[in-house]
Structure 1
Amino acid sequence: MTATTIRPLALSELPFARDCVYIGYAVRARGALDLAAMATAYDALRRRYPALGARIERRRDGFDFVEPAELLPEMVVSDGPAEAVFDEVDLGQCQALSQLWVRRDGADEWVITLFSHHSVTDSATGQDRVAQLWAYYTTASEGALDTVEPLPFPSPVEEILAARGIQRPAWADQVPATATVRTDGVDGRARVVRQPERLRLTSELTTALIDFSRREQVSLNGLISGALLLAEAQLRDASLASLLYMFPVDLRARLDPKVSIYEGTVVLGFVAHAPAGEGAATIADLGRAINEQVREGLDSGVVQQSSLLIPDGSEGGVVPQIPRLVTASNWGRLPQLLTPAGLDIHDFHSMLASAPVADSPQDLPPNYIISSFGDRLSIEVDHHGGLVASQQDRMGILETILRQSVSAL
């Protein structure tokens, strides 16, 4: 029996289906966790957000979102060290676009990870769903949940932009398609789960960087971006001018009318920044240049149109093959998560899952994730399933650059 189609995937969503990409939002908790209440909360979350229970099916002319299966995958519970990678996770986009995985480490240590398919998730929606999951859990652990009203299935960014009069520019047809990294996504399963290498700054260094950003009148994200570029140039023994820095920009608050957190799937624009400077540039200099390009791109509409530049008929995946490319995503600060008495959330980090990469990991660009939890900033880098030692080198160089920058004041 053929499943009921919700809608075809838009061009902005297709790469994540081809590569079977899921984003994992991992919360670390200590104390008493009620597994039955968490399962109830996850069921409520999928009722609230139909996209999390939907599936993706490959059709002759592309991919479609289809209605959920009659039986949705249950929450998975396993035992093992909190630090271990979830190598036993098996995520299939033909089964569901989300999965909740709970790992129990001893009597009272837990890792609760919500995996959400990237075609229906960006950092804003992902973190909102994590916050909603914990709100449902707290309510369920203390009593019964009220009726959950489902939201409409979210729209692609193409429809959101078109409704606001933003169209694909005529010159976009002259832009050649960018080659992307090849993955083995033929079976629609994310069989490779990765926990990125992580640099978790101390609260003291985080505070020092915030003070530095205010004095220099450059955003904290700009400072971190400048440090990433300096670290990459040093690690690769390359000039700054030879690097290309690409990152997404959340468009929700930058469109008129604004876009609600529930309205779209991947509501992002993109910026490609080519630094103009050599080794003498500071993280503040680089950050200002990045911030200025973002402002100018938003004012001119280039950033808003960037999601419309994917050529029709493109077969590309997520990761572009561009020499000396560096990519990063700023997730911002994780919202305050509700918990019942007796359970404390003490950390948060990302997880990534995708189809296996067919290309050599040495050829893949580093992908950084910047986020804050509590009073500490974290910077993570995806090692694409290999080269752990080089990612540790990246983190060491990056921390040195950040510490030297604030100590030079």
Structure 2
Amino acid sequence: MDACLTIFVVLWEPEDVVRALDPSEQRFVRHATFTGRSVTVLGELDAAGLGAAFAALQRRFPILVCRIVEDADENGILLRPGDIEAVGAWVSFGDPDEVRIPAESMDPGAQLAYLDVVLAEEDRARVTLFVHHSVADAGHCVELFARLWGFYTDYVETGKIADTATVVAESETAAGATWEYPASLEVLLAQRGIRRGRRSGLETVARPLVVTDSVSGIERAEAAPATLARPARIQLDTVATARVLELARAHAVSVNGLVTAAVLRAYGDLSGADHVSCMYPVDLRRRLDPAVAAEAGTNLSGLAAFATDAADTADLVVLARRIGTSLHNDLADGVIEQSVLHFPDFFGPDRIHSTAGHIALTNTGTVPPFRAPAGLILDDYEIVYLSAHPRPSTGASAAVTFLVYTYLGRLTIGRLGGGPLAAHLLDAVAAELSWSSADQEAATA
């Protein structure tokens, strides 16, 4: 600890330091991972108004204009911006059907959020908000994106944006309060008296670390050019989505459990594996006491794990119910909160366990419609990831990653990775979910 403090004094002015990042945040530093929320826009977009809205967002949430620097061991340090002028919205002309890597530099050493606006003829556009994953997870990013469109709507409708400079002091930690700088999950758990226990909750998907899981010092010295990951997607229409919701309700299972079961069945059938396992984040904001506002924490998700023999996945609803029961028990036992306190054992250079080969699934739930002025339609919504300076990974590698969310009544399933199965996975998952309640009635008649 003393050595770290010395580094702070040598490299940066003490008043610039906010804090060192905790493990739940640190795991996104190595690749400079930005998570993006992107929509296509139909209608006339006021570029100046969107720039004003982004500036208001930066004032309202000063974490966005902070920066992350790394010490000699690549540990992330969060710094205040000082006298550095914030980078505003980038506006250019191009193809709104693409999610691009911005031509301008995205550097976490400069600031932690960027807005890319691509305009086209015929009143079409794409707007993408990139936020560094160390300081914002899915819940936080959706809140930021919603605030951005709220500020824009205010600007278009009234010509001004309400004062956004007033923030709640960091010491005011009551439920629902907005902090000037969001806290890590580790800090919020400690405030509630939750300490590391013996179980991580990830035992069913973990295995001992082996040499091939490690990264040499030579490999980690070089960073590659920026890369963008835009998941391949399949979207169910509103009728098919409603059918999935009805199936979940009819059998008293969660949509998350149903989709996870479909993913496990599809992957197991295509891969021929005897055993399938998955990990998925669980948002703890409303499960902590007191609860935490969406923007008051950085990455407030624990990890849940589920593993089963492929032979036990024959019935979709039964499997969904088993997944739900496992999650309910882990929440009751407190092991979802424990997972983050064991992150150093699974992520980073000091890890001792590996979960490589698992299925990763992130379900961000229903994304509420964003405010927009009359005549403007925010039609499509996507989640993308941008690594500003990717380096070889020091964490577990998933066999495939699925992203699940619902926007405007349409369930979307995205895929990253998957190897030789990649081309078939999304169709296989969708086929599992097309099993309607009518099919169930016929099967049980």
User: Once structures 1 and 2 are overlaid, which stretch shifts more, 152-161 or 281-290?
Assistant: 281-290
**Distance in 2 separating the partners of 1:93 and 1:125:** 18
Corresponding residue number in structure 2 for 1:82: 96
Corresponding residue number in structure 2 for 1:380: 414
Q: Is the 8 A contact 2:101 2:386 kept in 1?
A: no
Shift of the 187–262 alpha-carbon distance from structure 1 to 2, 3 Å rule, reads farther
Shift of the 160–85 alpha-carbon distance from structure 1 to 2, 3 Å rule, reads same
User: Once structures 1 and 2 are overlaid, which stretch shifts more, 192-201 or 261-270?
Assistant: 261-270
**CA drift at 1:81:** 2.2
Q: Which amino acid aligns with 2:20?
A: P
Shift of the 400–92 alpha-carbon distance from structure 1 to 2, 3 Å rule, reads same
**Distance in 1 separating the partners of 2:321 and 2:401:** 21
* Pairs within 5 Å for 1:244-393: 244-278=277-311, 281-311=314-344, 315-316=348-349, 322-354=355-387, 355-356=389-390, 358=392, 364-383=398-417, 390-393=421-424
- Tell me if 1:401 matches 2:428: no
What secondary structure, in the 3-state scheme, does the structure 1 residue paired with 2:150 have? Answer: helix
Shift of the 324–176 alpha-carbon distance from structure 1 to 2, 3 Å rule, reads closer
**CA drift at 1:365:** 2.2
**Distance in 1 separating the partners of 2:220 and 2:237:** 39
**Distance in 1 separating the partners of 2:38 and 2:330:** 33
- Tell me if 1:147 matches 2:172: no
Relative to the length of structure 1, the TM-score reads 0.89
What secondary structure, in the 3-state scheme, does the structure 2 residue paired with 1:119 have? Answer: coil
User: Once structures 1 and 2 are overlaid, which stretch shifts more, 117-126 or 363-372?
Assistant: 363-372
**Distance in 2 separating the partners of 1:352 and 1:317:** 25
Q: Is the 8 A contact 1:212 1:406 kept in 2?
A: yes
**Distance in 2 separating the partners of 1:398 and 1:125:** 28
Give the counterpart of 1:54 among 47, 50, 66: 66
Shift of the 393–326 alpha-carbon distance from structure 1 to 2, 3 Å rule, reads same
- Tell me if 1:236 matches 2:267: no
* Pairs within 5 Å for 1:88-127: 88=102, 90-127=105-142
Q: Which amino acid aligns with 1:374?
A: L
Q: Is the 8 A contact 2:24 2:185 kept in 1?
A: yes
**CA drift at 1:189:** 8.2
What secondary structure, in the 3-state scheme, does the structure 2 residue paired with 1:16 have? Answer: coil
When the two chains are superposed, the root-mean-square deviation of aligned CA atoms in Å is: 2.8
What secondary structure, in the 3-state scheme, does the structure 2 residue paired with 1:278 have? Answer: helix
Shift of the 289–364 alpha-carbon distance from structure 1 to 2, 3 Å rule, reads closer
Q: Which amino acid aligns with 1:2?
A: W
What secondary structure, in the 3-state scheme, does the structure 1 residue paired with 2:148 have? Answer: helix
Q: Is the 8 A contact 1:5 1:65 kept in 2?
A: yes
Relative to the length of structure 2, the TM-score reads 0.82
User: Once structures 1 and 2 are overlaid, which stretch shifts more, 4-13 or 257-266?
Assistant: 257-266
Unmatched tracts of structure 2, length 5 or more:
1-10, 168-178, 441-445
**Distance in 2 separating the partners of 1:78 and 1:108:** 14
Q: Alignment identity in percent?
A: 28
Q: Is the 8 A contact 2:265 2:313 kept in 1?
A: no
Flag the structure with larger Rg.
Answer: 2
**Distance in 2 separating the partners of 1:400 and 1:313:** 34
Tell me the number of residue pairs that the alignment of Structure 1 and Structure 2 aligns: 399
**CA drift at 1:310:** 2.2
- Tell me if 1:68 matches 2:101: no
Unmatched tracts of structure 1, length 5 or more:
none
What secondary structure, in the 3-state scheme, does the structure 2 residue paired with 1:13 have? Answer: helix
